[in-house]
Amino acid sequence: MCRIAGIIAPNFSSTQLKHQITLMCDSMIHGGPDDFGVIIDEQKKVGLGNRRLSILDLSSAGHQPMFNDDEQIAITHNGEIYNFKILRDQLIQNGFQFKTDTDTEVIIKAYQFWGENAFEKLNGIFAFCLHDKIKNCFYLVRDQSGVKPLYYSNSIDHFTFASEVKAFEYSGITQQPNENWKIYYLAFGHIPEPFTTLKNVYSLPKGSFLKYQLNDGSFKIQPYFQFSSAIQIIDEDEAIIRIKEELNKAIKLQLISDSTIGVLFSGGLDSSIITVLADTYAKGNLTSISANFDEIDFSESSYRRIISERVEASHREHMITYRDFVYNFDTILKNMDQPTNDGINTWFVCKCAKENGLKSVLSGLGADELFGGYPSFDRIRKIQNLGKLSKELIKSARFLKNTKLNRLYYLSFQSPVGEYLCLRGLYTPDIIAKLLEIDVQTVINCLQNIPLNDSIRYLNDEERASWFEMNMYMQNQLLKDTDFMSMSHGVEVRVPFLDVNFVNLVTSIHPSIKFGVYQKKRLLIEAYKKELPEQIWNRSKMGFTFPFQEWIKKNKDISSPDLYQNKKAKKLITSFNNNNLHWSSAFALYKVFHAS
């Protein structure tokens, strides 16, 4: 697990190239504190940099960037390839020899043997740049589920890439802010891919690679993998058997590490499943990390106790208070690579993991999106029916006093993005226009023009909700936030529910048995009923939630209306203090007006 960066700049000297890449990497040292490397191809003016977090092969043999045997191929790699030992054995059988025990060397030699077809063989969380001197090109490659981030920027004279958007500010290349980022943020609570806060910096799509031709500076992005959309499993018993097989395989694979490993354990269904299964394979070499609060309504300690008494894993529970929130608040904001309304909880639990000597932890992220754990799965049919009303009637929702009902206005959009914003959006276009003091049509045009995959148009009901949750909410918010908040502590988060084979399996299960009508995540519960006590699976969903509503209200550096000159912002913050606005909406105002 690392942080990576690179620049292709024919007008840079080799010294300047090395200097700028070093600055980019040093800006991400939190994500790779164990080692640093940079290599320069002086002829092509290609520079690759790497900040390393040592997890596999902790020796100096794992130093990056790494070359192949004849130094014609170089790589800088961020992530983990869980099936690297399987691929390594296949490559050895085909005559390859290895100098290290790293997964990075496996990527290089897999590419030598299979070419671009090697990318789809990788099972893991990864983002890497591979420079092929023989073909005079390089590749940027991102994992199938989009767990690891990878950003790029292209201009006439430069091509730049990095693991974090903030690193581009150190590239020596002038960056301009994206004039639309505040619109995106106030609508979504995050910046949707492929956009960022910088004008010409974009996110590489998941399951894709970018091929850059060094001879003429042209590049093309193309997918190397797409999850199955064909329904193959219609029998519930078969689905349960397959779910257990694939999830068990995923967890067993993701426990590979030459350093200590743990699990983020909230006490809910998903983290309990991960904890119980990981404990089976870790054989006592596992630590669970949990957060607890003075506010009893947010504590799940009683549920955690039920599981912790049944496993061998050592349990570490940390009390997080309002004082901790205030003391660390400025640091948390600095660690946000992109504006977001989430991730503070991940920052705290990963801080706890770091303090307990952990470099890698497993998380239950992804189960809600795959199996229907969110309220959006209940609301999607209503929203689809409301969308059939006349556009003029829907547009009138903007004048309603209830902020949640205001979001019905989004159903008047021509794009499906309107449905998502109706489900999860923060502010409607007219409010955003007043906050930013711009024309409302500018806001509407900006949001309607966000590109979406056409496959959403062919999905209905729970499958449609799952697509939104997987490809919008999880992709743009949860995964990004988890990555930069965890890596700010030098901790890697692994996500077994997003294992490529597991996701492929779940998407092939018929929705009539995959989604429960009367019980959330029914199929997942049926699969693990015997492994878990009823108190864990037969209770209402709580979610990994902190007491932010009260904490932010108490913090007058955020919640005082006097801090906001904009009349609409002042009114909204007053509404928040009167318990008529969710904390996430108030936090977004703070980020836009005071912390951007």
Instruction: Cite the annotated binding site for L-glutamine by residue number.
Output: 103
| CA–CA gap between residue 250 and residue 254 (Å, rounded) | 6
Q: Which two tokens stand for residue 167?
A: 């690193």
Q: Do 494 and 362 form a contact (C-beta atoms < 8 A)?
A: yes
E strand residue ranges, 191-306: 201-203, 208-213, 219-223, 261-264, 287-292
Q: Which two tokens stand for residue 249?
A: 């395989």
Cβ-based neighbours of 355, under 8 Å, separated by 6 or more? none
- Alpha carbon distances (Å) from 85 to 82, 214, 568: 8, 32, 57
> Would you say 345 and 174 are in contact if contact means Cβ atoms under 8 Å apart?
no
Residue tagged active-site, from 2, 350, 352, 446? 2
Q: Which two tokens stand for residue 517?
A: 């009508």
Question: Is 25 among the catalytic positions?
Answer: no
Query: Which runs of E-coded beta strand occur in 232-307?
Result: 261-264, 287-292
Q: Are strands 360-362 and 261-264 parallel, antiparallel or unpaired?
A: parallel
- Separation of alpha carbons 334 and 332, rounded Å: 5
Name residue 233's beta-bridge partners. 509
Please tell me the number of Cα atoms within 13 Å of 231 on its side-chain side.
Answer: 11
29-to-49, 169, 484, 490, 539 alpha-carbon distances in Å: 12, 15, 12, 9, 42
First-to-last C-alpha distance (Å) of the chain: 28
CA atoms within 13 A on the CB side of 329: 17
CB-CB neighbours of 283 under 10 Å = 9
Integer Cα distance of 497 and 50 in angstroms = 28
Please count the helices (runs of H) and the strands (runs of E) in the chain: 26, 17
Report the binding-site residues.
103, 264, 363-364
Give the closest residue to 392 by CA, choosing from 408, 369, 379, 378. Answer: 408
Residue 398 CA to residue 409 CA, distance in Å, equals 6
What is the Cα 357 distance to its own chain's centre?
A: 23
Buried b (16+ CB within 10 A) or exposed e, 385-416: ebbeeeeeebeebbeeeebeebbbbbbbbebb
Q: Which amino acids are annotated catalytic? A: 2
